[in-house]
Amino acid sequence: MDGPMRPRSASLVDFQFGVVATETIEDVLLHLAQQNEQAVQEASGRLGSFREPRIVEFVFLLSEQWCLEKSVSYQAVEILERFMVKQAENIYRQATIQPRDNKRESQNWRALKEQLVNKFTLRLVSCVQLASKLSFQNKIISNITVLNFLQALGYLHTKEELLESELDVLKSLNFQINLPTPLAYVEMLLEVLGYNGCLVPAMRLHATCLTLLDLVYLLHEPIYESLLRASIENSTPSQLQGEKFISVKEDFMLLAVGIIAASAFIQNHECWSQVVGHLQSITGIALASIAEFSYAILTHSVGANTPGRQQSIPPHLAARALKTVASSNT
């Protein structure tokens, strides 16, 4: 490993709010809103997500081992997910244009599946390495570090294969890997909340937001499934409803306000209404939507308080949290 290990949270010491000019904040917030709207529109018709919790956990642990910032781990997950979607689309396209031959088709599917499985760990590591190269605050993970890590797992690769893997990811995504992450939206909204006189300090909210954002990445499908059921008021959504809901999963602005609202309740439940009011006025997102999302996050946060896991929300606040957020949704 390159250089001495440092705590993953060390970057939080230098993180500051309230030092950016208001004009810059307005410009960035507008840009993020436009970027988010475009992402939501483009999500329509996508195959779905490939966010397996074990894979996300692998990326998080690897990022921690390599002393990378949280933003890098989130971006690595986004790059990997979009790469896997592209791979699935390519496989489907090849299957549809080839002549109909059941035996040959079965063989082709097996060959493509084997290729994906055999190279998946290499591609995952390449996504983390690429994400590290996009951050100005992180050291770039060297090829030697990556090769040593893969060798420790039993995968023997050369530097040439490592470079080819990175190039494969880049080409698949048309070199568009500087993808937005929910963290950018969370931090920008916290900046605005600070200027608006939020009663809960931004730094305290920031730390809790990072924990809850990790939770959302790890429990992505259960959280969004509960949000879907709540939005349609039906415990068994249809396939069409699920497909239409894919765009909601790409709405990082909605995710950010849900994360901040849940964090505000954990930090100071008496100020929750004020924080949610500010978020509504800043983003234009309905109070009911903010309440539903924060409710979904809090319920799964309570569920995550199992032995061996770090608690995201104190147990003595659990019942009060669910009751307050639910009543705010009525």
* pTM (whole model) above 0.85: no
CB 4 within 8 A of CB 67: no
What is the tens place of the pLDDT at every residue in 311-325? 344 444 444 444 444
If one compares 47 and 84, the residue with the highest pLDDT of the two is 84
- Under the banding of pLDDT at 50, 70 and 90, the label for residue 88 is confident
Among 20-29, 72-81, 236-245, 247-256, which is the least confidently predicted range?
236-245
Average pLDDT on 258-276 reads: 91
pLDDT of residue 310: 39
Among 33-42, 209-218, 276-285, 294-303, which is the least confidently predicted range?
294-303
pLDDT of residue 11: 47
CB 321 within 8 A of CB 256: no
CB 227 within 8 A of CB 168: no
What is the tens place of the pLDDT at every residue in 32-82? 999 999 988 887 666 556 788 899 999 999 999 999 999 999 999 999 999
Phi first, then psi, for residue 9 (nearest 5°) are: -85, 5
pLDDT of residue 55: 93
Q: Does 255 score more than 50 pLDDT?
A: yes
Average pLDDT on 191-201 reads: 84
Q: Does 12 score more than 60 pLDDT?
A: no
> How far lies 308's CA from each of 8, 275, 304, 311, in Å?
20, 32, 10, 9
User: Of 12, 325, 53, which Cα lies nearest the Cα of 214?
Assistant: 53
What is the tens place of the pLDDT at every residue in 120-152? 999 999 999 999 998 766 678 889 999 999 999
Domain ranges of the chain: 47-173, 182-302
DSSP 120-131: HHHHHHHHHHHH
pLDDT of residue 49: 64
Q: Which residues contact 244 (CB under 8 A, 6 or more apart)?
A: 44
CATH 3.30.390.30 fits 47-173, yes or no: no
If one compares 89 and 95, the residue with the highest pLDDT of the two is 89
